Structure 1
């Protein structure tokens, strides 16, 4: 079987009522459109440490940003998602500098009728919908962050990294992280 591992490296978080969770943590998000929900999948690579760290921390850190009354619209929510990812990346690297593992993430935040999706790495999100013909169609909500994609290769190079083609296997190398694809 492809991807078979002796231990599960992946984690996930599902909070169907984020408003209730925020109230329990004394970080109200009542100013956001309702309902609010949060879903995330963390794909552990080379071990569970990073995926577990992010799964325990990301939604709590996001709630701190969302509880700010100025965080209301899609732009502010997008900035909050990005900030949380950057904060956790820095914190994980500071605490676990020699760790060999990492993780990808795909997350969805529902606020009212707005669905915000954010992702890092090669994790994918698909939206399933019923067509007018009554069949189910999938709509991709993400694009893979792969070094073979021109935009991703440019991003890695601009960050001081390099892309190495090792035959059939591309690798991203940067000064901060090594991402095995």
Structure 2
């Protein structure tokens, strides 16, 4: 059912872009990259580099343990492969600032789906502080860790949207290749 919904959204967007020509230029012009320099450019570099590095750290183990991850989510291996590859490849592209908007979108889709899984699994937005939980009530997968919540996936979405809207900044390959 989720697959049909995602496919339906993609087809609807594609048809809307061609059936309503006035939609495409407005949509694309609102997402045109900006290349701020100075402190804002450095802030975007820090955001891109940090977020890209985090997605490398999340994507690589998922890719190397793909079957185990797919089984834990009860998802097809092919979809988990797409998600892990988008995290790994998108992370690299975010770090170097290349095709930044296109790098953010697949990762954003994965994070929105992660939120969906957490919400449908009735996980809280912010979990109770692990130091306040009695020892016998929660132990993470390896005996330690934080209780599950969807706040981390939400924050990743916020950061990805900020990069997609603000652009990669001056200190990126996009700025070097596509100019200011």
TM-score interval for Structure 1 and Structure 2 normalised by the shorter chain: under 0.3
Greater helix percent: which structure? 2
Greater strand percent: which structure? 1
- What's the TM-score once normalised by structure 2's chain length? 0.25
- What's the TM-score once normalised by structure 1's chain length? 0.24
Of structures 1 and 2, the one scoring higher in RCO (CA 8 A, sep 6+) is: 2
